[in-house]
Amino acid sequence: MNNKEKIIELFYQNVKGRKADTSSNNQKHDGKKGHWLETQMGIKHNGDNAPDLFGYEMKNQTTSGKITFGDWSADEYIFIHGRGKNPTRNNTNQNYNITRDNFLEIFGKPNTLKNNRLSWSGTPCPTYFGDISPFGQSLAIDSNNDIVIIYSFSNDMRENKSELIPLSMQIDNLVIAKWKFEILQMKLEKKFNQNGWFTCTTDKEGIYQNISFGQAMNFNTWIGIYSKENSVF
């Protein structure tokens, strides 16, 4: 029996036809269903940057139906976050003396479902290369193959942008976050470029019914997922 067949056998023995039992978990924890699935598949909960099972990375079904590759914070931000890292610099090499809270006030959006808590996710952020969000933010690859989010004041559709954006930032092509190529490549390929990955999916009742496999992927194949067209900044 090869590794893929072993994973399929585990799924049919311990998962298929069952609904995640999260009664013993912290109900506020977003990953409680994923932890149940890991336990059923014999995967130990850990933060190791390595494939979950027999060289395959396991991904659980999400409410949006999308597969997440990892919770990878940027390596550099335009704000100074107090952990010793330098802020990202823009084209003119100018530093901006803003904090993380300032960043959320400037580039984020209030979440009305959470007492207007500011968040830099969803609407403010672009999804694909070539997209420009209503907040004037776009995703690109720079000359070092780093992934960057850039802000352009001229593309910001917010009516109160002149009040929100400091005068020194009312420019185009301002790098506000950066993911370094070498670090992303290492994280991605250690998890997804061995045997590949698999996902377990449920029906409308939340009962696990299917297991699907995806091929191994390197940085180049992964980055293509986010590219509507080649976009280099």
Q: Which residues are registered as beta bridge partners of 13?
A: none
pLDDT over 50 (residue 120): yes
The residue among 31 and 184 whose pLDDT is bigger is 184
Using the predicted structure, report yes or no on whether residue 135 has a pLDDT greater than 60: yes
Structure-model confidence comparison of residues 2 and 222, the more confident one:
2
Looking at residue 231, what is its pLDDT? 45
Once rounded to an integer, what is the mean pLDDT over residues 55-70?
Answer: 71
Name the phi and psi angles at 22, rounded to 5: -110, 20
Q: Is the pLDDT of residue 164 over 90?
A: yes
- Predicted local distance difference test score (pLDDT) of residue 87: 52
34 band by pLDDT with thresholds 50, 70 and 90: confident
CATH, domain 3-70+191-219, list 3.30.70, 3.30.450, 3.40.210, 2.60.120: 3.40.210
Q: Is the pLDDT reported for residue 104 higher than 90?
A: yes
Question: 186-211 burial string, b = 16+ CB within 10 Å, else e?
Answer: ebbeebbbbbbbbbbebeeeeebeeb
| DSSP code at position 128 | S
CA distance 54 to 186: 19
Q: What is the pLDDT of residue 91?
A: 46
Question: Is the Cβ–Cβ distance between 80 and 99 less than 8 Å?
Answer: yes
Query: What confidence score (pLDDT) does residue 129 get?
Result: 85
Please say if the pLDDT value at position 199 is more than 80. Answer: yes
DSSP 13-73: HHTTT-B---TTS-TT-TTHHHHHHHHHTTPPP---SS-SBTTEEEEE--TTSPPP-----
Give the pLDDT of residue 106: 95
**pTM of the predicted model as reported, rounded to 2 decimal places:** 0.75
Mean pLDDT of 62-67: 58
- Whether the pLDDT of residue 86 is over 90: the answer is no
66: region left, alpha or beta (phi > 0 left; psi from -120 to 50 alpha): beta
**Tokens 């914070």 belong to which residue?**
73
More confident residue, 163 or 70: 163
Q: Which of 215, 213, 214 is nearest to 7 (CA)?
A: 213
Enumerate the CATH 3.40.210 domain ranges in the chain, comma separated. Answer: 3-70+191-219
Rounded mean pLDDT of the chain?
Answer: 83
